[in-house]
């Protein structure tokens, strides 16, 4: 009896990367591969990389080298954003056999066969800006029926001055809506408790389609799918919240009351240098509309600190603006110089020590805002989607995306993917 080949996959970066890795894993499964368990020796290693910051690049290089050291006899494939941005740099790492990038990943198995047959490393990195169609990848069917993420969009047309994503992901491309809806129906029928719609620019969905589709319509059509219990939205840019989208979110009970809306800076001067297409007044007005719609809405955000030319006054304005936003959480990123972007050549680069100090102040504020937001739910009942269960405790999320760990009663039978209701206490919050 032939032993099936084995593959190890490791992923850095965002939810889109995670979703793409799950799809690649399914391609391997369909070809007869088995995803390895700890301690096993794989025949193929796939590293899905990130390049959103120089830290992402560095961690990607470290992960590639670590996997090569751990599995020196395996064929090593590198894909993702760092692979797209720096293929020659990766090809220079001894032990790398194949570099793919952010396109053509559906051909990964054929390319692996080619490398094996020719016994020669190669890179197949297609120009990102020439991408015109959404790349279809298969859905991963996990053993645990908890949360499924569906990628509905790829690429970016924004070209913020600090960001590599338009260069490594290409232009905005939306997935065919009928394929999205068919996949949602399939996932809901399989028993998943929650579906997440995600993309590089989730709110730009439909802008490139000939049919009259946008994210609002996709939400409306998705909410009609039988068996769907929760629909969660990925990150949406401030300028992508149309009146139609706001009305649809308010009118659709299945949509989880949590939105991630990147801000990036609380200074109009910095936003202008970043080439962000809004100002603080626009962002504040959007939040006002959202909180009128739902006063308990959970809103999280991204903040870049230490952008070139950011003065102490700009930083103080950011802290003050954030205090008034009632965020449930913030992702704080020290500015990272990305070669090839306009901001890399800007004067007045901020020192590492100043970026670290400002990051520390923002992270402390993040903890204050989180505590303040959670406080309103203490003593109230909440529905939890259970994700993991141990002998005595379960881990899951509320609809507002608050992570909780709570004790399991002896008479309870909880499994990953099940729903339960609990009274929230301060001690339960993770």
Burial 45-61 (b: 16+ CB within 10 A, else e): bbbbbbbbbeebbebbb
pLDDT tens per residue across span 274-303: 999 999 999 999 999 999 999 999 999 999
pTM (2 decimals)?
0.93
- In contact, 99 and 74? CB cutoff 8 Å: no
- In contact, 258 and 328? CB cutoff 8 Å: yes
Q: DSSP secondary-structure letter at 173?
A: E
Report in angstroms the alpha-carbon separations of 31 from 4, 23, 35.
10, 13, 12
According to DSSP, the β-strands at 147-154 and 194-199 are parallel
pLDDT tens per residue across span 34-58: 998 778 899 999 999 999 888 899 9
Q: CATH number for 257-376: choose from 3.30.750.200, 1.20.1440.120, 3.40.50.150, 3.90.105.10.
A: 3.30.750.200
Name the band, by pLDDT with cuts 50, 70 and 90, for residue 143. very low
pLDDT tens per residue across span 232-281: 999 999 999 999 999 999 999 999 999 999 999 999 999 999 999 999 99
Nearest to 278 by CA among 267, 291, 289: 267
Given this structure, which CATH class describes domain 6-126? alpha beta
Range in 6-10, 12-16, 131-135, 178-182 with the lowest mean pLDDT: 131-135
pLDDT of res. 248: 98
Chain centre distance of CA 319: 25
pLDDT of res. 412: 80
pLDDT of res. 141: 55
The arithmetic mean of pLDDT across residues 159-168, rounded, is 96
Burial 257-288 (b: 16+ CB within 10 A, else e): bbbbbbbbbbbbbbbebbebebebeebeebbe
Nearest to 28 by CA among 6, 47, 10, 11: 6
Dihedral Cα 182, 188, 191, 197, nearest 10 deg: 100
Residue 374 pLDDT > 60, yes or no? yes
Phi, psi of 44, rounded to the nearest 5 degrees:
-135, 140
d(CA 401, CA 273): 32
Residue 110 pLDDT > 50, yes or no? yes
Burial of 135 by CB count in 10 Å (0-12 exposed, 13-18 middle, 19+ buried)? middle
Name the band, by pLDDT with cuts 50, 70 and 90, for residue 140. low
Residue 195 pLDDT > 90, yes or no? yes
Report in angstroms the alpha-carbon separations of 70 from 53, 60, 64, 66, 75.
26, 15, 10, 6, 12
The domain segmentation of the chain, as residue ranges, is 6-126, 257-376, 381-428
């Amino acid at each position: 009896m032939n032993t099936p080949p084995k593959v190890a996959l490791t992923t850095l970066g965002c939810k889109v990367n995670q979703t793409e890795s799950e799809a690649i894993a399914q391609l391997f499964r369909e070809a007869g591969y088995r995803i390895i368990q700890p301690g096993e020796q794989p025949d193929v290693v796939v590293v899905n990389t990130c390049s959103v910051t120089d830290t992402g690049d560095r961690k990607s290089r470290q992960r590639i080298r670590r996997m090569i050291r751990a599995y020196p006899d395996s064929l090593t494939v590198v894909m993702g954003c760092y692979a797209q941005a720096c293929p020659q740099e990766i090809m220079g790492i001894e032990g790398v056999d194949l570099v793919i990038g952010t396109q053509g990943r559906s051909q990964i198995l054929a390319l692996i066969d080619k490398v094996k047959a020719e016994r020669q490393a190669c890179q197949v990195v297609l120009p990102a800006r020439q991408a015109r169609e959404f790349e279809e990848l298969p859905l991963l069917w996990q053993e645990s029926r908890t949360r499924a993420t569906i990628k509905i969009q790829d690429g970016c047309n924004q070209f913020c001055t600090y960001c590599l994503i338009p260069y490594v992901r290409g232009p905005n491309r939306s997935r065919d809506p009928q394929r999205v809806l068919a996949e949602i129906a399939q996932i809901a029928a399989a028993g998943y408790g929650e579906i997440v719609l995600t993309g590089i620019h989730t709110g730009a969905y439909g802008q490139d389609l000939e049919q009259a589709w946008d994210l609002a319509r996709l939400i409306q059509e998705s909410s009609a799918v039988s068996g769907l219990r929760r629909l969660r939205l990925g990150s949406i840019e401030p300028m992508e919240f149309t009146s139609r989208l706001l009305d649809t979110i308010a009118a659709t009970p299945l949509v989880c009351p949590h939105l991630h809306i990147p801000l990036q800076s609380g200074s109009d001067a910095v936003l202008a240098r970043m080439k962000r297409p809004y100002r603080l007044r626009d962002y504040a007005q959007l939040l006002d509309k959202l909180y009128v719609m739902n006063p308990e809405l959970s809103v999280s955000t991204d903040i870049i600190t230490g952008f070139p030319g950011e003065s102490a006054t700009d930083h103080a304005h950011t802290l003050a603006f954030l205090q008034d936003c009632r965020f449930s959480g913030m992702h704080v990123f020290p500015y990272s110089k990305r070669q090839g972007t306009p901001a890399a050549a800007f004067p007045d680069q901020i020192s590492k020590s100043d970026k670290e100090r400002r990051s520390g102040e923002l992270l402390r504020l993040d903890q204050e805002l989180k505590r303040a937001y959670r406080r309103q739910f203490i003593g109230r009942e909440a529905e939890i989607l259970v994700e993991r269960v141990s002998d005595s405790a379960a881990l899951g999320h509320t609809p507002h995306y608050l992570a909780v760990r709570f004790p399991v009663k002896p008479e309870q039978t909880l499994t990953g993917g099940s729903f339960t209701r609990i009274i929230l206490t301060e001690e339960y919050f993770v």
